[in-house]
A and B are shown apart, each in its own frame.
Chain A
């Protein structure tokens, strides 16, 4: 037939066989193939020659692949076979008296329901118990964490204190009590090379003060007082507080001031003093 001859000579089948047609063109070709069986024979010949051509470019894969790939092929097989092949449903004879069946079915359902409810109740109480245990464990954990944090902080503080005390650059200056507070005393660690001034809070023997007041540290430089910052008496603090820097001074002194400190020291409220 002329149409078929022309179709064959057009080269469409060759493109179809080599995968060179787009989806729409493929469908048209498949329609033609379905319609004209002689086209099918032509296609087969085209495909056979392509197979031989492909074989001429064959590359033998390495030997080790054979067993591995075959193994993977076989283990990959999906256990459900074609879904378009329906399995024959087993036909059961229903009891001739349909009522009996439903009665049994009902009874079975009710029994199942009760069993489920019972299981549910048991599960629920177990769950509650487990939750309680969990809460308890979490609480204990929390306590441990807090304790660990606390101890860590203590450790850091002590390590800082120790490093200052051991450092030969730091000179320990003892401040002794004045008439206002004869039994007061404290120690200031002074590193003149690095201009660092630290108060050793553990050594503090200072009278307590209220919230409206604070202590202020001064350095006496050539007769003039220089502010080194304020600090509070806090019975829990046992580390080192860093104050403002000063390169050189003759003495340190501490006065009691209003909270936040003062520009000039209130001399009547001088608590302790010590020469460097």
Chain B
């Protein structure tokens, strides 16, 4: 039922985005929509809003592509920033604040995992194993900073730990990820 998804290498994609051709748009969507949607949904937790934000994210990526600088990092990192910033702006906006759900960090992470465990990308082998490898405090740090856009200062405040600890935990978290995925 699903159409053949288009995949390009990072360089091919960058070229296509620069030329703004249809193939580029399709590849962009096929390759990254579910990752970006996952991040967006994690922040706003509202399907319709997340869908609109996904569209806004792609449109913004497409139209501000000239500001992407590959010397500063990979394409996906830049795209995650766009998605994250749009989502955070949305939840800080007036109309969202009326519906904001207050859940503490641990809860959010656990609830989403339970709700979405069936939707986790089956192409990634042993995701449940990953979850076991990653210590809870490493998971929290990743959640706060990477997904929810906290700075390390804000994360330290939120968790009640020193700045240095935030840094080391983040390094350990990513080192764990690197070991796991390689």
Q: Which residues of A contact B (CB under 8 A)?
A: 9-12, 14-22, 30, 33-34, 40, 43-63, 65-66, 68-70, 72-74, 76-78, 81-82, 84
Contact = CB atoms under 8 A, between A and B. Distances in A.
Chain B contact residues (Cβ within 8 angstroms of A): what range? 35 or more
Contacts, number: 171
B66 interface: yes
Closest 5 A-B residue pairs measured CB to CB? A11-B171, A58-B34, A11-B167, A20-B145, A18-B146
Contact of B174 (A34, A49, A62, A81): A49
Interface in B51-84: 51, 54-55, 58-59, 62-63, 66, 71-74, 76-77, 80-81, 84
Interface in B129-182: 130, 142, 145-147, 149-153, 155, 166-168, 170-171, 173-174, 177-178, 180-182
A53 B177 CA distance: 7
A59 B151 contact: no
Contact of A47 (B2, B22, B77, B182): B77
A140 B62 CA distance: 57
A56 B66 contact: no
A58 B72 CA distance: 24
Nearest to A46: B174
Contact of A73 (B38, B41, B62, B173): B62
B168 A57 contact: no
A30 B174 CA distance: 20
Nearest to B154: A20
B59 A52 contact: no
Binding site secondary structure of chain A: helix
Contacts of A34: 71
A50 to B, nearest CB: 7
Nearest to B182: A49
Binding site secondary structure of chain B: helix
Contact of A66 (B33, B38, B149, B177): B33
B127 interface: yes
B152 A20 contact: yes
Contacts of B130: 53, 56
A14 B35 contact: no
B54 to A, nearest CB: 6
A21 B29 contact: no
A47 B171 contact: no
A9 B59 CA distance: 37
A12 B124 contact: no
